[in-house]
Amino acid sequence: MRHVIVPEDLSAAEIEAIFAVSRDLQEKFAAGRRDALLPGRVLALVFEKPSLRTRVSFEAAMTHLGGSSLFLGEDSGFASSRESIADFGRVLGGYVDAIVCRSKSHDTIRRLAEVAGVPVINGLSDLAHPCQALADVYTLRQEIGRIQGLSLAFVGDGNNVARSLAVVCGLLGMRFVLAAPEGYQFDTGFRKHLAAILPDAEIEETTDAAAAVTGAAAVYTDVWASMGQERERAERQRAFAAYQVNEALMARCPDAVFMHCLPARRGEEVTDGVIDGPRSIVLAQAAARMHLQKGLLAWLLGHAE
Ligand code: CP
Ligand code: NVA
């Protein structure tokens, strides 16, 4: 039984295998073909936080693959006083073939995976967003043609998306640089974890956004206050004021594409001119979520060729 709770649950070779299936399915989709690799299979989406991309891309993916999905929002009683996570997970795992869970707590997803008896995929937690990072590096490969040795500069909060990108970049031979103010970089525990699992990876941190983007193939940003951090918004706006990805910053790396996982707070972490500009690949990233997750589902459920 395999789960994808953090991207490092996958090896580099496994990610490449998933990318290959995703690419094949994406090409067929573009040609109007939909391979029913998962007929009759059911995917449950258990979400404690809002979502557009993750929810819809997984639901569409399952339909295209000949299976189906069901969305369980807050009224399912998940992770509440209604019943234990163990009872919820054991019951749900008896009905469905796989579960995507978006939770307020990373530990909740881990506990669900321990009991469900079916593969569990993290659809975003406070600590990780593996499907996003996998789809992002897949997108870069599609857009640029290669990724090995290229540099991705993440300008903003060292959050769930940044952590997962650091790992996927490290696994696949990309340099990752986080530019964030003191107090918003990776914590010591995660740094130690990165050093242990990816001792040879080029993963760096700086407070200097201009230095970080110099020579980058991609400049990435995300909201300064993630879901669940709304009360810190004003404080974070002050802390990140010098970390906006704007035309002046992008002028320092004329060959770089611009990336954002979306949703974006336009005028805060990114200007309209950058996110809507010719170097922005944010819509390709969003589209790739569905293709990447098809590959992931087919691989995880053992139906990839
Ligand atoms: N990028 C992303 O995960 O978007 P949603 O929160 O809309 O799913
Ligand atoms: N860091 C953001 C990502 C949203 C897709 C959040 O957790 O809200």
Domain, as residue range, for 175:
131-285
Q: What is the largest CA-CA distance in the chain?
A: 54
- What's the 109 CA to ligand 1 centre distance in angstroms? 17
Kindly state whether residue 240 falls inside one of the protein's structural domains.
Answer: yes
Kindly state whether residue 1 falls inside one of the protein's structural domains.
Answer: no
- Closest by CA to 109, choosing from 91, 88, 135, is 88
Kindly state whether residue 94 falls inside one of the protein's structural domains.
Answer: yes
Kindly state whether residue 2 falls inside one of the protein's structural domains.
Answer: no
- Do both 237 and 121 map to the same domain? no
Kindly state whether residue 57 falls inside one of the protein's structural domains.
Answer: yes
Kindly state whether residue 305 falls inside one of the protein's structural domains.
Answer: no
Kindly state whether residue 179 falls inside one of the protein's structural domains.
Answer: yes
Q: Work out the angle at residue 75's Cα, subtended by the Cα atoms of residues 73 and 77, and round it to the nearest 5 degrees.
A: 100
57 pocket-lining for ligand 1 (C-beta < 6 Å): no
pLDDT, tens digit, for every residue of 140-194? 999 999 999 999 999 999 999 999 999 999 999 999 999 999 999 999 999 999 9
191 flagged as catalytic: no
Give the percent of the chain with pLDDT over 90: 98
- Do both 267 and 153 map to the same domain? yes
- Do both 136 and 183 map to the same domain? yes
261 flagged as catalytic: yes
pLDDT, tens digit, for every residue of 118-155? 999 999 999 999 999 999 999 999 999 999 999 999 99
Kindly state whether residue 28 falls inside one of the protein's structural domains.
Answer: yes
pLDDT, tens digit, for every residue of 263-298? 999 999 999 999 999 999 999 999 999 999 999 999
The sheet carrying 218-221 orders its strands as 203-206, 175-179, 151-155, 218-221, 257-260
- Do both 143 and 271 map to the same domain? yes
150 pocket-lining for ligand 2 (C-beta < 6 Å): no
Given a cut of 70, is residue 225 above it in pLDDT?
Answer: yes
State the average pLDDT over residues 293-304: 91
- Do both 185 and 78 map to the same domain? no
CATH number, domain containing residue 33: 3.40.50.1370
Q: Work out the angle at residue 117's Cα, subtended by the Cα atoms of residues 114 and 122, and round it to the nearest 5 degrees.
A: 60
Q: Please write down the long-range contacts of 54-58, taking CB distance under 8 Å and 24 or more positions apart.
A: 54/100, 54/102, 54/123, 54/124, 54/131, 54/132, 54/289, 55/123, 57/286, 57/289, 57/290, 57/293, 58/100, 58/123, 58/290, 58/293, 58/297
- What's the 261 CA to ligand 1 centre distance in angstroms? 7
Encoded tokens for 202: 């080029």
- Do both 149 and 269 map to the same domain? yes
- Do both 114 and 243 map to the same domain? no
Per-residue CA distances from 13 to 17, 99, 113, 288, 293 (Å): 6, 23, 23, 20, 17
pLDDT, tens digit, for every residue of 58-71? 999 999 999 999 99
Query: Residue 304: its pLDDT value, please?
Result: 57
- What's the 199 CA to ligand 1 centre distance in angstroms? 30
The values of phi and psi at residue 269, to 5°, are: -75, -20
Per-residue CA distances from 260 to 34, 95, 137, 217, 224 (Å): 28, 35, 12, 14, 12
| CB atoms inside a 10 Å sphere around CB 274 | 24
- Do both 139 and 275 map to the same domain? yes
For the chain, the average pLDDT equals: 97
Closest residue by CA, ligand 2 atom 2:
226
- Do both 35 and 180 map to the same domain? no
pLDDT, tens digit, for every residue of 15-38? 999 999 999 999 999 999 999 999
Q: What is the pTM of this model?
A: 0.98
- Do both 147 and 118 map to the same domain? no
Q: What is the band of 305 on the pLDDT scale with cuts at 50, 70, 90?
A: very low
Number of domains, the chain? 2
Taking the C-alpha atoms of residue 243 and residue 208, their distance in angstroms, rounded to an integer, is: 9
Query: Residue 90: its pLDDT value, please?
Result: 98
Q: What is the band of 1 on the pLDDT scale with cuts at 50, 70, 90?
A: confident
> Do you know the residue count of the chain?
305
State the average pLDDT over residues 67-85: 96
132 flagged as catalytic: yes
- Do both 265 and 148 map to the same domain? yes
Query: Residue 302: its pLDDT value, please?
Result: 87
Given a cut of 90, is residue 251 above it in pLDDT?
Answer: yes
Query: Residue 143: its pLDDT value, please?
Result: 96
Closest residue by CA, ligand 2 atom 6:
226
- Do both 73 and 182 map to the same domain? no
